[in-house]
Homo-oligomer: A and B are copies of this chain.
Amino acid sequence: KGCLGYVKRVLFVVGDDWIFLFALGVIMALISFTIDFTVNKMLIAHWWLFQELGDNMLLKFLSWTVYPIALTAFSTGFAQSVCPESAGSGVPEVKTILTGVVLEEYLTIKNFGAKVVGMTCTLAAGSPIFLGKVGPFVHLSCMIAAYLGRMRASATNEYENKNKQYEMLVAGAAVAVSSCFGAPVSGVLFSVEVVSSHFAVRHYWRGFFAATCGACMFRLLAVFNSEQETILALFKTSFDIDFPFDLPEMIFFLVLGAVCGVMSCAYLFCQRWLLGYIRRNSVIVKLMAMEKAVYSGLVALLLSSITFPYGLGQFMASRLTMKELLYSLFDNNTWIVLTQNASLSRPHVVDPENLWLEWWDPTFTVYGTIAFFLVMKFWMLVLATTMPMPAGYFMPVFLYGAAIGRLFGEVVAYFFPNGIWTDGVLNLIIPGGYAVAGAAAFSGAVTHTLSTALLALEMTGQLSHILPVLLSVLVANAIAQRYQPSFYDGTIIVKKLPYIPRFWGSQKGSCMVTTDPYMNRNLAPVVKSWGFRDILNVLTSSADTEFPVVESEGSMVLLGSVARSELLYFLHSYTGQDTVVEGTPSSGLEKNVGEVCSIQPITFQLSTQTSLYQAHELFEILNAQLMFVTDGGKLVGSVTRKELRKAIEDLALGKTPV
């Protein structure tokens, strides 16, 4: 027993939370694998049904459309009835929670259940609906992380502070991305970029450790399930690593990045516009208020009708699942070369060895089908994101980018059929490399992240294209970040969650604007010596949750802050005393706020000379919600995220806040 105690002591000394991080990784990998397994079986069942119906087109059409309609309607209905907050990707909410805002209902067990069931159904609806897994999975992982965090707090007899909770949540987000794609390093980086604005290097290892556990477990399960012989990349490519690309091709990759950047701006604009539109349009609002499942069903009907493989679907490779689509786009071969050399015919069922044949059409050629795919999926994807059910939007965007890249690569290969001639050596163009770069650039631009570059490479298991991919991602991001808020920020704006906009380098004025013009001067300060009557007055006249405590009304020297709940408690205790101890009313009256309530000391305060830039920095670093403004020790105002946001937006519009 002494030995066991020693082991336990050593384990806890190294870092008392590694056990919980390990558990987090393993649990998330198990969930991820189970969902994948279930979804896979359901997709096979759908395909089997579709095949078995023979040549009856009507039956085939019905089987093609009814399955996704039923699943999305169920997903929406279930999610909405169990927990309406489980709809959507959940990443914007996680991001908001990590800025310090408390959103209780987003980390409950009810939400977890709704999300798991809803997401599985959404994914099982397959490629006609064209939605993904990452977003909800990040949300799920954060719920598990929050739960484990509470468990740890009770196990180690330590009170759970905000910092520790924060660390766990960031690690949770990292695990989610890692165990979705089996990509540990980029999983950590992507989650950090998406959900947090500041990062302590000290806590790096948490994310890496949990992510490695998750990725290992996820890939191990794939091996035990005999999908793979050993641990390999998820979408393994096999480009020529001796000569992956020629130097002049760097320019094409730059152009590809610019194309992806512009496309992402268009996508983000349309997506935000439509999200706003369905909240304004009276018909849709009525429909949504009555029965959200019907709306989802209608959208699913439209989407699946268009992708019917014997109709328009044949021009957009709709027989492939999401995974197969990505596999086919990352294909090692140059399709334009393949179409010239062989006498082709599209097989009756999908041929796993030649997935690219699904993209080939005798009249339209591959260019026609990919272009058609891009045009149609653009509005279909925008439409799909409006369905109020648990669904991820990263994978479709990634796939869409891969299609842009593939088209671009094939065009380059068309113009340089023998590759580019340098130094007397001929090297063929590899369009698959462009597909990887396009996927990274478009998804990076939409989410405003750079780590998609590494993610794409980790998913394909090849590093050879790292520099061109990074270039594309940087260019695409420069364009997208300049003109549009990210996908997640856009959702936060539409959902009216608390949010602080980004700063631009151009906003030089930010160093000139002080807190003075925009701070809130309507304060309700509590004087330390106040008794029952004054507190009652303050509480009835103001709805604030936190009140500044000052020395006296004359000096206004800031002493600390007191929570509304404390003041309410003070009122209760007072009335209690007054009635019970009737003999000593004077002593009851003498008690004041300073004696009864616990006054929180002020650690940060802004001064009237603090610049907007600094104030913004502080709110971001410290995840603060409210700061008091003092001038020479005297309380003069307060700044919350609301005021800060308004000041930044005014500055961006060129108005100097007055």
Q: Which A residues lie at the B interface, using CB under 8 A? A: 12-18, 156, 158-159, 161, 163, 184-185, 189, 192-193, 196-202, 204-205, 208-209, 212, 215-216, 219-220, 223, 229-233, 236, 238, 241-247, 250, 423, 425, 427, 450, 453-454, 457-458, 461-464, 466-467, 470-471, 474, 477-478, 482, 502-506, 508, 511, 551, 555, 557-560, 599, 601-610, 613-614, 617-618, 620-622, 630-633
**For the complex, what is the distance from the CA of A208 to the CA of B481, rounded to whole Å?**
15
The residue in chain B whose Cβ has the minimal distance to the Cβ of A13 is: B506
Q: Do A557 and B470 touch across chains, with their CB atoms under 8 A apart?
A: no
**Residues of chain B lying within 8 A (CB to CB) of residue A462:** 241, 462-463
Q: Are A477 and B200 in contact (CB under 8 A)?
A: no
Closest approach, in angstroms, between the C-beta of A486 and any C-beta of chain B? 12
Asked whether A212 lies within 8 Å of B505 as measured between CB atoms, the reply is no
Please determine whether A201 and B192 come into contact, CB atoms closer than 8 angstroms: yes
| Contact call B618/A603, Cβ cutoff below 8 A | yes
Hey, which chain B residues are within 8 Å of A219, CB to CB? 467
**Residue on B nearest A219 in the bound complex, by CB:** B467
* Assembly CA distance A461 to B560 (angstroms): 56
Q: Quick one: given A212-B467, A230-B243, A511-B159, are A200 and B15 in contact (CB under 8 Å)?
A: no
What residue of chain B has the Cβ atom nearest to residue A477's Cβ? Answer: B205
Apart from A198-B198, A462-B463, A605-B605: 13 A-B pairs, beta carbons within 8 A: A13-B482, A15-B478, A163-B617, A199-B199, A199-B201, A230-B247, A230-B427, A232-B244, A236-B241, A457-B463, A461-B463, A555-B557, A601-B632
A632 to B559, CA, bound (A): 4
Q: Is the CB of B453 within 8 A of A505?
A: no
Could you say which of B198, B504, B620 contacts A199, with CB atoms under 8 Å apart? B198
* A216 vs chain B, min Cβ distance (A): 6
16 A/B residue pairs, CB under 8 Å, sorted by A: A14-B478, A163-B613, A198-B198, A198-B199, A205-B450, A208-B474, A230-B245, A231-B467, A238-B241, A241-B461, A241-B462, A558-B633, A601-B609, A601-B630, A621-B622, A633-B633
Say whether B467 contacts A464, CB under 8 Å.
Answer: no
Do the beta carbons of B601 and A607 come within 8 Å of each other?
yes
Residues of B within 8 A of A461 (CB): 241, 463-464
Q: Are A196 and B201 in contact (CB under 8 A)?
A: yes
**Interchain CB contact under 8 A, B463 and A208:** no
> Which residues of the partner chain B approach A453 to less than 8 Å between Cβ atoms?
185
Is there an interface contact between A201 and B201, defined as CB atoms closer than 8 Å? Answer: no
Nearest residue (CB) in B for A15 is B505
Docked pose: A231 CA to B470 CA in angstroms: 14
- Are the C-beta atoms of A230 and B246 separated by less than 8 Å? yes
How many Å lie between the Cα of A247 and that of B220 in the bound state?
8
A12 neighbours in B (Cβ, 8 Å): 505-506
The complex places the Cα of A205 from the Cα of B163 at a distance, in Å, of 26
